[in-house]
Amino acid sequence: MKQLYFVRNLMLAAGVALLTACSATPDLEADAEEPRIPLPDTSEMDPRGIGYVDNDPLEGFNRRMYYFNAKADEYVLLPVVRGYEYVTPEVMQTGVNNFFTNLGEINTFMNSVLQLKGERAITTAFRFVTNSTIGILGLFDPATAMGVYREKEDFGQTLGYWGVGDGPYIVLPLLGPSSARDGFGLLVDSLVYNEVVDEMGLKTNEELAMMIIRSINARKQIPFRYYATGSAFEYELIRFLYFRARDIQIQR
Amino acid sequence: MKRIMRLGALLLGMVGVAQAAPTTDDYQFPFSDPFKATVFGTPADFKADLPDDIHRREFTIDLYPGRETPEVFWYHEGFQYSVVYQKKPAPLVFSIAGTGGKYNGGKMIALEKAFFKAGYNVISITSPTHPNFIVSASNKQMPGYLEKDAEEIYTVMEKTLAHAQDKLGDKLQVTDFYLTGYSLGGAHSAFVSKLDEEKKVFNFKKVLLVNPPVSLYNSVVILDGYVESVGGEGIRNTVNGIFDRVGDSVSHATRVELTPEFLYKMFVAANVSDQELSQLIGLAFRLSSTDMIFAIDVMQNIGALTYKNHTISKHESISHSFLRGASIGFLTYFERGMVPFYQGRNPDLSRADMINRLSLKELEDYLKSSDKIGMVTNADDIILAGPDLTFLKQTFGDRGWIYPHGGHCGNMDEKVWVEDMLAFFASSK
């Protein structure tokens, strides 16, 4: 586990270095001319509206990370996911997804409690206990069959629930769109998750294997493909949708 | 009650299809509202039963080996298309996407599946208005002039066919050629078919225009009007309002799933009004035009949305170009892009001439006399202006058929629609 922490810290350090170093402002040639269609007046615009977002001060870093993620997706993640799908029977893929989803219930439980959502905490606890026992360590999902549906709460949502604004937009390495608040939330959630995994008493290489399978499964569950629409403004649209989607999640 | 409604639909249907070829009696489309039909499409229960598992490949072809792709379009290196193959001798349908549409859009995939099931090969072609076409397949890079677009589409058809045959060998054996396209792709099909009468490479046996515009200019005025009538601020408020209500319906849902079906349900539950739906249609159209204008701008160094004489790096912010582009629409593109561009090549061409040329009326005689060309549309298609429907009826006669409801392309995977469409193509075999 120590090596993993080391890698993560290294990435964090590299990230901080990048954050401060890059810019998204055009580096204009001497004979460049101002675009002929004037820039609409943004002073009256909703800073969260479609087409105009005023909370991306790290855009230079974010765009580089977005590009990096698109390339990582194309050359590493998606081929690995395809390989995984090819060699793994579908029943097992579902089992793997159920297993990690079940582990995730612990985070949802904790955050439901922190948001004083009693009913949600109880149904989540019920799901975790049922699926861990009858569902054989979470490989199956009998709770859903019983009509107790899964909810998702993370620490970013908890902070949002208590009125913390999302702060600047941040594109995280490999994980994609996030915000200062949600990025911090993710860190807290992973610390809790890691504690849970520690309790399982796995060896370092087993933990590593589990982390890899978890990542592959996580990517497999997201149907998004970079530049699938071919729009040059995908970055803008995703940024807009990210904040709207998070608002909806917090509202629930 | 259901029986009365069916009878009503039947009566309406009879009015709409008085002179149409296939009978549309069994047609039961749930939305009689054209805006709902256009945005929501065909609900699952009414969809044709189409196979998911078909023989299909996607390829990228380098059509301009010498041309360097601008850095900002690093993901448009090469022209992308798909081919559906039967692994035995079979006819091939070329299918052309609508405005801003890509070869793998939802409607294109539905057509591929329907054709595959009926025993055809298919090559799906991205619209000349899509950035991928502009960046990697276009020579003039000023789309919208139907006749000139047709020339470029024709070249793309020849090259993708040769490429696909080279890649697939025996799996793709073509006996005859057919052609179709929806929306703007329908208008393109007419001009491609006309061009084929001279070039005679494909000798299309049947050509079907699906929900074509009659006059491009008039259709653009309608679609741009949805945005212009409320302005940018109005659109933003509408979008925000819809998201707020979707948020409300999500917070009251018993079960949250991240599936298209769930999002569809939430969207329907948000009770979006016709006024708002029309603005969403206008917005979708505006996003397409922004993408298109940006691509043209970058390729031609025009300096409309981008800095002239400036190479955009792949990490550079282009949000300013998006804001500029979204503030104008297809009409501005026509007036300030197309008209001067084509007048520069042909000074005798007036603006009025151009409006006339971007219309099916330009081909009226050909469309009237050519037995192989059919047309299908809906009586409530929103892109048709007043006399357009009558023009379509008179021009295509019994080679055209019109459903009472479906809006603009909202019924393209409906059961009866698919049957009638396939029957049209089969009638020449």
Residue from the list B233, B283, B315 with its beta carbon closest to the beta carbon of A63? B315
A127-145 burial, b at 16+ Cβ within 10 Å, e below that, comes to bbebbbeebeebbbbebbe
Rounded distance between C-alpha atoms, residue A191 and residue B24, angstroms: 62
pLDDT of residue B11: 40
Residue carrying the six token digits 């393209």: B412
Helices and strands: H and E segment counts in chain A = 10, 2
**C-beta pairs of A182-186 under 8 Å, 24+ apart in sequence:** A182/A154, A182/A156, A182/A246, A183/A156, A184/A155, A184/A156, A184/A159, A185/A154, A185/A155, A185/A156, A185/A157, A185/A158, A185/A159, A186/A154, A186/A155, A186/A156
CB contact at 8 A, A231 and B287: yes
Using CB atoms within 10 A of its CB, is residue A163 exposed (0-12), middle (13-18) or buried (19+)?
exposed
Contact B250 A26 (CB under 8 A): no
For chain B, list residues with pLDDT below 50. Answer: 1-20
* E strands present in chain A: 169-172, 176-179
Map out the domains of chain B with their CATH numbers.
1-50+360-429 (no CATH), 66-209 (3.40.50.1820), 220-352 (no CATH)
CA distance A223 to A210: 22
Tell me the pTM: 0.90
DSSP A191-229: HHHHHHHHHTT--HHHHHHHHHHHHHHHHHT----TTSS
Q: Do A26 and B327 count as a contact with CB atoms less than 8 A apart?
A: no
Q: What confidence score (pLDDT) does residue A223 get?
A: 87
CB-CB: which of B247, B313, B326 is closest to A248? B247
Backbone angles phi, psi at B233, to 5 degrees: -65, -40
**AA identity, residue B189:** S
Whether residue B218 contacts residue A28, with contact meaning beta carbons closer than 8 Å, is answered with: no
What type of residue sits at position B165? Q
Distance of alpha carbon B349 from alpha carbon A252, whole angstroms: 59
Q: Amino acid identity of B106?
A: G
- Is A226 at the interface with chain B, CB within 8 A? yes
Element (H, E) at B409: none
Q: Say which of A24, A26, A252 has its CB closest to residue B307.
A: A26
| SS3 of residue B49 by DSSP | coil
State whether residue B81 is helix, strand or coil: strand
**Chain B contact present for A180, CB below 8 A:** no
Residues 180-239 of chain B with CB under 8 A from chain A are: 232-233, 235-236, 239
**In angstroms, what separates the C-alpha of A218 from chain B's closest C-alpha?**
13
Amino acid at B130: H
Nearest CA in chain B to A236: B319
Chain B, 95 to 114: residues with Cβ < 8 Å from chain A are 102
b/e per residue, B94-122, with b = 16+ CB within 10 A? bbbbbbbbbbbbebbbbbbbbbbebebbb
Residue B259 at interface with chain A, using a CB cutoff of 8 Å: no
**Series of mean pLDDT values for 10-residue runs along chain A (252 residues):** 61 62 82 92 77 83 96 95 95 96 95 95 95 94 93 95 94 94 96 90 89 94 90 94 92 88
Query: Could you say which of A63, A70, A233 has the minimum Cβ distance to residue B291?
Result: A233
Flag if A24 and B317 touch (Cβ within 8 Å). Answer: yes
Q: What is the pLDDT of residue B89?
A: 97
- Asked if B130 lies within 8 A of A252 by C-beta distance, the reply is no
What is the distance between the alpha carbons of residues B61 and B72, in angstroms, rounded to a whole number? 19
- Tens of pLDDT along B219-251? 999 999 999 999 888 898 899 899 999 989 888
Residue B306 contacts A, CB cutoff 8 Å = yes
Assign B318 to helix, strand or coil. Answer: coil
Contacts with B, A 10-49, CB within 8 Å: 22, 24-29, 31-40, 42, 44-46, 48-49
**End-to-end Cα separation, chain B, in angstroms:** 42
Say if the Cβ atoms of A37 and B305 lie within 8 Å: yes
Looking at B169-273, list the stretches that DSSP marks H as alpha helix, in order from N- to C-terminal side.
184-199, 216-228, 231-252, 260-269
CA geometry: angle B82, B88, B94, nearest 5 deg:
35
